[in-house]
Chains A and B, each alone.
Chain A
Amino acid sequence: MPIIQEPIVVLDQLGVRLGGNPVLQDMSLTIQRGEFIVILGPNGAGKSTFLKLLLGLVRPNAGTIQVLGSTPQRGNQAIGYAPQHRSLDTELPLRARDLVGFGLDGHRWGIGLPNRSRQERIEKALLEVDALNLADAPVGRLSGGEQQRLLIAQALLTDPQLLLLDEPLANLDLARQQEVVALVSHLNRQHGVTVLLVAHDINPLLQVTDRVLYIAHGHSCLGAPHEIITSETLSNLYGSPVEVIHAEGRFFVVGAEI
């Protein structure tokens, strides 16, 4: 599905402070429906804060933000979110389908009686991430890649238009990274889901990325990977010399604490 000229996320001169410290400053950008955006930047630069801003979990101090045409509100079903994953306790008394099901009705009151259409939606989401065979497995016993796919399934349950993924590739080996990238790319291209994905390394994502949002030291740049990941742009962003080496179709950034 091609990118449609329909703004999904619009930021205008946005600023965020956390505990008195400026995290994001004077951020203006527009993200179109159907884009695949990778968010890069050093640790603590505000990548997760940026996602929380879109979710309405963090409020801006300055400027305006519009997500899907309105000010972000917690609990928006049109946004799917998978937070940074920490590995689960191996003894966690929970099946995969229970964890995924939280994404559907975990926020509702009452016990929620079992019903067939609920199970079907959960199984459809599990099938989407190729994890239907794990439905009844205890989640703590699954591998990091399998758990990550469950989190994505959970985020997909409400058929979101916008998918926010916080470091879904962290702690995965190369093969598992490729699985997750193929899965997210499929959702992006086939279903037109707009994707904002936080990552540490652009290389596994280069083939599927439309634009890169690079956040460092409170400032940010948005553009095609080859425009943003250059010695000049990154040196400006970091305020210190950064060397980008482009070799064999891959980017290597030297001189910054990435």
Chain B
Amino acid sequence: MFAIFQYPFIQNAFLAGSIVAVAAALLGYFLVIRGLTFAGHALSNIGFSGAAGAVLLGVQPVYGLLVFTVAASLAIAVLGREIRERDVAIGVIMTFALGLGILFLSLYNGYAQQAYSILFGTILGISRQDVLVTALFSLLIIVAILILWRPLLFSSFDPEMAEARGVPLRAIAGLFLVLVALTVSLAMQVVGVLLVFALLVGPPATAARLVRRPAWTVVLAIILGLGYTWLGILLAANGTWPVSFFIAAISFVVYLPVRLFSSRLHDRRPIIEVRRA
């Protein structure tokens, strides 16, 4: 089973997959606690349209992906300031982008293989150079999140207090969404745009149900993300089923029991309560 590691394309897949899993779990944690998981999903779908546009223009899909996801993340940040309106704004932007994607595909007369790989990922077909580019961008994203860590956490859990304490809410929200856009663009290589959710939201949503401390939730999310990715690649490389199927399936199979049984696990209120007389 492990003989596959002698192949460079498997080594590249493990390296790129691992790097992306770490960045996605870190960003995804904040998506989960900010109630922005729909935005994560929408940005990946929007990325598909950008990639389709790039294919039509004859340039690398990743450029179209970046342009569309970053532009959409800024639009979401501006339009969706109120939580009530946010999902509507995201949905409208997403469907418009998807419409464009369909248009681009219909205008493109060539072989649709590239569109297929954007949708479902190409992790087993990436080069060492792709790995380096992925590593560089992931490192930038991770460093940016670590710098933003405390104000981002504060404004996610308690925006009103954060504002009163002088945290620049809007700048942080916008910057965070741009980082999500970049992460989505990276994760596309591994699982494809349709299944970015599996790496971005699956691990942190599961982790958040198991531990309460923010730093530990992120660490657990990263461990889960790495586990899903490694196992997914290992299973796919030894068979004929696609990697993205395995990653999405593992993400689901782990989340489901945790979701069903975690409430009881956490119902450990202090037994002795000291009350002010």
The residue that B166 contacts in the complex, of A74, A94, A111, A183, with Cβ under 8 A, is A74
Alpha-carbon gap, A81 to B211, bound state (A) = 29
Contacts of A82 in B (CB 8 A): 161
Q: Are A106 and B150 in contact (CB under 8 A)?
A: yes
Within the complex, which residue of B147, B164, B269 is in contact with A110, where a contact is CB–CB below 8 Å?
B147
Residues of A close to B157: CB separation below 8 A: 92, 94, 99, 102
What range describes how many residues of B lie at the interface? 35 or more
Task: Determine whether the beta carbon of A83 is less than 8 Å from that of B160.
Answer: yes
Complex contact A179–B276 (CB within 8 A): yes
Is B148 part of the contact surface with A, judged by Cβ < 8 Å? yes
A107 touches B213 (CB 8 A): no
Q: Is the interface of B mostly helix, strand, loop or mixed?
A: helix
Contact among A75, A92, A111, A133 with B150 in the assembled complex (CB-CB below 8 Å): A111
| Residue interface bits B256-277, CB-to-A below 8 A is 1, else 0 | 0000000100110110111110
Contact B274 A55 (CB under 8 A): no
Asked whether A91 lies within 8 Å of B209 as measured between CB atoms, the reply is yes
A111 proximity list for chain B (CB < 8 A) = 146, 149-150, 215
* The stretch of A26-34, A134-142, A211-219 that contacts the partner chain: A134-142
Contacts of A106 in B (CB 8 A): 150-151, 153-154, 158, 161-162, 165, 167
Of all chain B residues, which has the CB nearest A180?
B276
**Could you list which residues of chain B lie within 8 angstroms of chain A, going by C-beta atoms?**
33, 146-151, 153-154, 157-158, 160-167, 208-209, 211-215, 217, 263, 266-267, 269-270, 272-276
Complex A-B, nearest 7 residue pairs according to Cβ-Cβ distance, in ascending order:
A75-B166, A106-B154, A93-B208, A83-B160, A111-B149, A107-B165, A74-B166
Query: Which residues of A approach B to under 8 Å, CB–CB?
Result: 55, 57, 73-75, 81-83, 91-95, 98-99, 102-103, 105-112, 130, 133-134, 137-138, 141-142, 154, 179, 182-183
Q: List 29 A-B contacts (CB under 8 A).
A: A57-B164, A74-B163, A74-B164, A75-B165, A75-B167, A91-B208, A91-B263, A94-B157, A94-B214, A95-B212, A95-B213, A98-B214, A99-B157, A99-B158, A102-B157, A102-B165, A106-B150, A106-B151, A108-B150, A109-B148, A109-B149, A110-B146, A112-B150, A133-B273, A133-B274, A141-B269, A142-B269, A179-B275, A179-B276
